[in-house]
Amino acid sequence: MTLAHTRTAPRFTARMALPALAAALGLALAGCAPAASSGAADADTGAVTLAVHDSFPNEEFAAAASAATGYDVTVVSAGDGGELTNKLVLTKGAPIADAFFGVDTIFASRLVAHDVVEPYRPAGLSAGFDDIAIGADGGTGVADTAAPFALTPIDQGATCVNIDPAWFAEHGVAEPKSYADLAKPEYADLTVLLDPTASSTGASFLVGTVAAFGEDGFAAYWQDLIDNGARVEQGWSDAYNGQFTQGGGDGTKPIVVSYGSSPAFTVSEDGTETTSRALLDTCSNQVEYAGVLAGAANPEGARAVIDYLASSEFQATIPDAMYMYPVDPDVALPEAWASFAPQPSEAQLNDLPSDEIERGREGWLKTLSEQIGL
């Protein structure tokens, strides 16, 4: 079974997110000047190509990255995150670009396992990158602060159960707080899940349940959810905008799998409250990575682009523009995020190392398909 990657912004579709990202990058571009670095462009190596998933504003980023690095940066789309991963693996040795961005936690170790990447540690990193970088062994975290990364983390988003507190208050039902609560009779027919075989957000939720219940218990938990009337949608937009009571449509379900950042986009006009809330004990981390491709025509240019993606300048555009959290801990979150969409603590996250996900993913999906018909 092949897992497709369907990443959308946490209330808006990715296509709708592009103008915001373009605007943020435009502001970054206005303050850019070509950087003096070991990757300074010359007549022979002045062009560099970045392959990305198809939810990226290619022209705007190319202009900002070109101004920041001094290279002539071209950005090419290679499908969604799963398709991007597959293309990078299939073209190993004759890569389609010099660098890439947009492979997430679900697929990251595949690139390391197939020797697709050239290890590199970006220049001038803030603290926080090492803990979620992918190391040379394909595992999450690099303990040696001088060691290169196989994959550099650029942004991260927490996949979490979201609820509509007003619905529960109106119906006199206590709000759920945990994974286990969703399978209780009082929450029958109230939950919308995402199909983990069709959505990387759904797959991230699946990883969280494996982390919480173990490989011997996650399928029974999913069966309990289905038996309790949980609805399974193929994609985030159908679930959030179509079924969730706070999704802006005619939804009737007050519980949905979405993102930790989603409540920042259901804030009242006066900015004093939000109409949704993420249950932070049901979150798993979803990180998007960048890297230098082995065999790149311009490895120096590729490294300069990775430096820019990890820079405080680009990291500062991520919350408003890409609806994800920056990896750089020194980047201040927008006020609505700080108030209504805080990142889960490490203790709250239900996570597994990337290499463990790579080893187990297909088996977990097969188990769900065979046992509960997903």
Q: Are 41 and 114 in contact (CB under 8 A)?
A: no
287 contacts: CB under 8 Å, gap ≥ 6: 104, 105, 108, 132, 153, 155, 156, 327
pLDDT score for 248: 85
Task: Please give the Cα distance from 171 to 173 (Å, whole number).
Answer: 6
pLDDT score for 45: 55
158-284+345-372: CATH topology? D-Maltodextrin-Binding Protein; domain 2 (3.40.190)
Q: What is the mean pLDDT of each run of 10 residues along the chain (374 residues)?
A: 37 38 52 40 70 85 95 92 91 96 92 96 88 93 93 96 98 98 98 91 95 97 98 93 92 97 92 95 95 97 97 91 89 90 92 92 95 85
> Three-class SS of residue 367?
helix
Q: Where in the chain is the domain with CATH 3.40.190.10?
A: 14-156+286-340, 158-284+345-372
Q: Are 341 and 278 in contact (CB under 8 A)?
A: yes
Two tokens, residue 167: 């619905």
Residue 158: exposure state from Cβ atoms within 10 A (0-12, 13-18, ≥19) = buried
pLDDT score for 80: 81
Q: Which of 266, 269, 281 has the alpha carbon at shortest distance from 167?
A: 266
14-156+286-340: CATH topology? D-Maltodextrin-Binding Protein; domain 2 (3.40.190)
